Amino acid sequence: MPRLDQNNMYIKNKQKVMCKLTAILGATTISLSIVFINIYEGENKFVSFSNNMFFTGTMLLTLSIIINFIKNIFIFKNRKYFAGKNIKTKGIDEQTLAALDNKERKVFLKYELFVIVSRSFVIAGVINFVISAIIVLLV
């Protein structure tokens, strides 16, 4: 779990956490694409690698959609905490966080984790698509 500040009020360095998760997802999908090349022997290994990168990028974007769906269910389940709060796309502002009790703060921290994970999956999926397109253009 990402580190919290001294008062457990918000997640520190959200971009750093997102970059680390994106790097882990990218390395995992590249290694998975290499494994798929070895499993499915094709005519051209570069084209096969490009196809596998496109496939893993599609999987990551699909998982991102599923995570967003789960996030919306989580918001609906905890709608009493989200009613009337100023929730921005980049997170919850400090004024709102300062006025929350511990249970509400935990709900909003889980919400922020959903946002971070979802964005990381989207970024990793787009990077896979770009790598796939570059390989296709080179071959």
Structure tokens, 84:
């009337």
CA 77 to chain centre: 21
The model's pLDDT over 38-64, given as tens digits with 9 standing for 90+, comes to: 887 766 788 888 888 999 999 999 999
Q: Is the pLDDT of residue 129 over 90?
A: yes
Q: Which residues have C-beta within 8 Å of that of residue 121, sequence separation ≥ 6? A: 25, 60, 61, 63, 64, 67
2 part of a folded domain? no
**66-to-1, 35, 70, 96, 130 alpha-carbon distances in Å:** 20, 25, 6, 28, 22
Question: What pLDDT was estimated at residue 125?
Answer: 93
* Residue 80 domain-assigned (yes or no): yes
Q: Is the pLDDT of residue 3 over 70?
A: no
User: Given this model, what pLDDT does residue 121 score?
Assistant: 93
In this predicted structure, what is the pLDDT of residue 90?
A: 53
Task: Give the residue numbers spanning the domain of 80.
Answer: 14-138
Angular region, 13: left φ>0, alpha ψ -120 to 50, beta rest: left
Within a domain: 8: no
Residues 68-115 pLDDT 10s: 999 889 888 887 877 766 565 456 666 666 666 778 777 878 888 888
Q: pLDDT tens across 7-48, in order?
A: 555 566 778 888 888 999 999 998 988 888 888 776 678 888
Q: Give residue 98's pLDDT.
A: 66
What is d(CA 37, CA 33) in angstroms, rounded to the nearest whole number?
Answer: 6
Q: Would residue 121 count as lying in a domain?
A: yes
Residue 85, pLDDT score: 62
Q: Give the chain's domain count.
A: 1
> Does 52 reside within a domain?
yes
Which pLDDT score, from 0 to 100, does residue 86 have? 58
Domain-embedded: residue 70? yes
Report yes or no on 3 lying in a domain: no
pLDDT confidence of residue 109: 80
Would you say residue 4 lies in a domain? no
